[in-house]
Structure 1
Amino acid sequence: MKNLQNIRILFVAAIAIFCTTTTSAQTAESSNYDQKFKLGFGVSGGIPTDGDDYDWALGGDVRLQYDLSKRTSLTLTTGFTNLFVGDDVPDLGFIPAKAGFKAFFWEDQFYVMGEVGAGFAVTNDYNETSLLWAPSIGYAGKHIDVSVRYEDYDKFNTNQIALRVAYGFEL
C-alpha cells in the first residue's frame, strides 16, 4: 500500500512538472493558434489493482476536448464503465463524469493528462457516488488516441489501470 501511495505522489509530481513547463513556453506561433473543439469515442479495458472485489473492467466513453493552444487542452469525459465480478456476485456499473487538463510534451503527440470527477453507480441497487481521479499518459495522432491511465475510486473499494483506444475528430 505504501508503494502505491509513492507511485501516486510521483505521478502527480510528473504531471505538475510537465504542465508547468508546457504552459510557460509560449511562442508567437501559439498566439496565432486556432482554438477548436474535438470529439472522441473510446473503449477501455482495465485490471483492478486494489482489493479483491472485482476481476476486470470494461467501458466506453465520449470525450469533448477544447484546445487552448497547440500543447494544452481542457477535457470533459463521460460514458459507462462496468466492474466485473466472477461467480454469482453482481457487477458494478457506473457513469463517470470527469473534467481534465491535457498537456502535450513531445512532438505535440505524446501527452500527460489529469482528470477528476465523480462516478455515479447505476446498477444492482448500489447507491454510492464515488470521487474519482485519473492521471494518464498517451499518444494522440490526427484521429487515433491511445492512453494508459490509473483510475482511483473513493467509494467503490478498488482502482484500476486501464488501456483506452479512441477515435477522434475536429468539430
Structure 2
Amino acid sequence: MKKLQFICLAAFAFLYSNSTFAQDDAATNYDQGFRLGIGLNGGIPTDNDYDWSLGGDVRLQYDLSKKTSLTLTTGFTNLFIGKDDLGNNVKDLGFIPAKAGFKAFVLKDQFYVMGEAGAGFAVTNGYNDTTFLWAPGIGYANKYIDISVRYEDYNKFKTNQVALRLAYGFKL
C-alpha cells in the first residue's frame, strides 16, 4: 500500500515539475473566474474491506490563470458490501467529503494533474468517525466535460480507492 502511495505522489510531482507556466498575451488577458462542476464518481477500493463505491459531488473551481485553479469539493460517497479480516460482513459506509485542492493544466490546457486534501465525515449505519483524506489525480477537461481518475485514501476508515469521475461543468 505504501508503494502505491509513493508511486502516486511521485507521478504527481513529476508531472507538476515538468509543466511550464510561460506567460503570453492570452494568459495576461485571461478572465479569472469561478466554475461549478457536478460529477458522478465510481470506484474500486484497493483493499478487501469494501467491494465498490458510488457517489456524487459538487466542485467549485476558481481559475487563478489559464493553467492553474483552486478547488473546493463536497458531495456524498458510499462504500458498499464490505468484509472484515475474519470474512464477516461489514456495513456500508457513507460519508461526506470536504476537500480543498489545486489543479494544474500541463498539456494543451486540457490535461491536468490535481491534488486534494480534506476530511471525510461518516454519516451512515452508525459510523461516527471523521477521517483525513487526500487524493492525487489526473484528468481531461474542456469547456463542459471533466473526466478524471484519482487515488483517494481514507486514513481512519482504513480503506482507499481508485475512482473515476465524470462531470459536467460550467462558468458562473
TM-score, normalised to structure 1, is 0.90
Separation of aligned partners in 1, 2:19 and 2:132: 28
* 1:48–1:67 CA distance, 2 compared to 1 (3 A): same
Instruction: From 76, 81, 86, give the equivalent of 2:77.
Output: 81
Instruction: From 62, 67, 79, give the equivalent of 1:66.
Output: 62
Moved over 4 A (4+): none
- 2:39 aligns to what? 42
Q: Is the 8 A contact 1:18 1:103 kept in 2?
A: no
Per the TM alignment, residue 163 of structure 1 is displaced from its structure 2 partner at its CA by 0.6
- 2:113 aligns to what? 112
Per the TM alignment, residue 27 of structure 1 is displaced from its structure 2 partner at its CA by 3.1
Secondary structure of the residue that 2:66 maps to in structure 1?
A: coil
- 2:11 aligns to what? 14
Structure 2: runs of 5 or more not aligned: 83-87
Separation of aligned partners in 2, 1:24 and 1:35: 16
Identity %: 69
Per the TM alignment, residue 21 of structure 1 is displaced from its structure 2 partner at its CA by 4.5
- 1:127 aligns to what? 128
Q: Larger strand proportion, structure 1 or 2?
A: 2
Number of aligned residue pairs: give it: 167
- RMSD between superposed Cα atoms in Å: 1.7
Q: Is the 8 A contact 1:22 1:71 kept in 2?
A: no
TM-score, normalised to structure 2, is 0.90
Structure 1: runs of 5 or more not aligned: none
Moved more, 104-113 or 17-26: 17-26
Separation of aligned partners in 1, 2:117 and 2:20: 20
